[in-house]
Homo-oligomer: A and B are copies of this chain.
Amino acid sequence: MSFKIINKSQKSLARIGTLKTKHGVIKTPFFMPIATRGSVKSLTSEDLKKLGAQIVLANSYHLYLKPSLSVIKKSKGLHQFINWPGPILTDSGGYQVFSLGSKEQGTRNREQKKFVKITEKGVEFRSVYDGSKHLFTPKSVIKMQETFGSDIMMVLDVCSPAKCSYSQAEKDLEITLKWAKEALKHKSKKENNQLFGIVQGALYKDLRLKSVKALSTLGFNGYAVGGLAVGESPSEMYKVLDYTVPELPQAKPHYLMGVGYPEQIVESVKRGIDMFDCVIPTREARHGRLYIHSSSIIVHRSFYKTINIKSEKFSQDISPINKNSNLPELRHYSKAYLRHLFSVNEPLALRLATLNNLEFYLGLMSEIRELIQSNKL
């Protein structure tokens, strides 16, 4: 068994454990910084190691289109290509196909949106880069992720919008389950990559439970809850977790895709989730929003705050970006300096802000693991 549970909290469904992968053992619960195009915005692998990142997530959709599979194959895999020796999880590309497809509608090209075509065979789409036509199938995305050498691969799924009709969600789920079976069938027996199934069903309890039941029978290495953080409220999301997670195989890792804000991570861990990824820390860094730890998670509901470092009020604030940071960069550069870098568009601004936010997120996971160990969460 690659997943071992070390301790279960007596206060909630939270658990700590270890997840063994081809490229190392990860302590759970964990957070995955996002290397969309094979790079965590502005950081090197050395930076990620210093931050204590255990694993990164890369997006198959983007890497498939650019730089394309050939050079990754030539590099003998994604780890070598992006120079990251630790574990990598790759998504199936499906989510990007749908989300980038819909974005196009409002902005450039209605035809492009229309062109995201789901059939039982797979999903046809046009590249955001050059409009060229492509097809992802349950098999092709497995083969692609095997070419990457991903430690954890995700199945191709149809991510229903939060507010979709029952009949739409049911139809999407049907295809998702069909594809899940095919994905398993095409997974190479020679490789010891792990393959995760994805629970769908929008906000419909019976569909979610049907999804869980079907996937559990198939036997995946882990189970993701997909189709959340796509427009529903946090309480709707927690409700789905409340009835879904207890029905998942308990001996396998549980992954909540695309979530979320710090308090959502804490709430989801309490509901039995072990794995997270989210663009928030890196995306908000780009806009100068910094996450600041303010008290222990269990002491106060508002255990953190965010500041807009671009604000005029930091122009004379010569205190460190974070005096308690493990990183000399964040202890030695001042808030006023970082504010200045943003105000004159210096690229170092993004790097310092990203370091700050990822340190916060990874530190949060570390605190969560300690609290579960001591039965406080």
Give the B-binding residues of A (Cβ under 8 A). Answer: 37-39, 41-46, 62, 66-67, 70-71, 74-75, 80-83, 315-316, 318, 328-329, 332-334, 336-337, 339-341, 343-344, 346-348, 350-351
**Which residue of chain B has the shortest Cβ distance to A355 in the bound complex?**
B44
Apart from A41-B346, A66-B343, A75-B318: 5 A-B pairs, beta carbons within 8 A: A67-B315, A71-B316, A71-B318, A80-B318, A83-B333
B41–A347 CB distance below 8 A: yes
Number of copies: 2
Q: Which residues of B are found within 8 Å of A81, using beta-carbon distances?
A: 318, 334, 336-337
B38–A70 CB distance below 8 A: no
B83–A44 CB distance below 8 A: no
A-B residue pairs in contact (CB < 8 Å), sample of 26? A37-B340, A38-B337, A38-B340, A38-B346, A39-B341, A39-B346, A41-B347, A42-B42, A42-B351, A44-B329, A44-B351, A46-B328, A66-B343, A67-B339, A70-B316, A71-B315, A71-B318, A74-B316, A74-B336, A80-B318, A81-B318, A81-B336, A81-B337, A82-B337, A347-B350, A347-B351
Q: Which residues of B are found within 8 Å of A74, using beta-carbon distances?
A: 316, 318, 336
Q: Which residues of B are found within 8 Å of A62, using beta-carbon distances?
A: 344
A347–B347 CB distance below 8 A: yes
Q: Which residues of B are found within 8 Å of A316, using beta-carbon distances?
A: 70-71, 74
Q: Which residues of B are found within 8 Å of A344, using beta-carbon distances?
A: 37, 62, 66
Q: Determine which of B39, B75, B333, B347 lies in contact with A336 in the assembled complex, contact meaning CB atoms within 8 Å.
A: B75
Q: Which residues of B are found within 8 Å of A46, using beta-carbon distances?
A: 328-329
CB distance from A5 to the nearest CB of B (A): 35
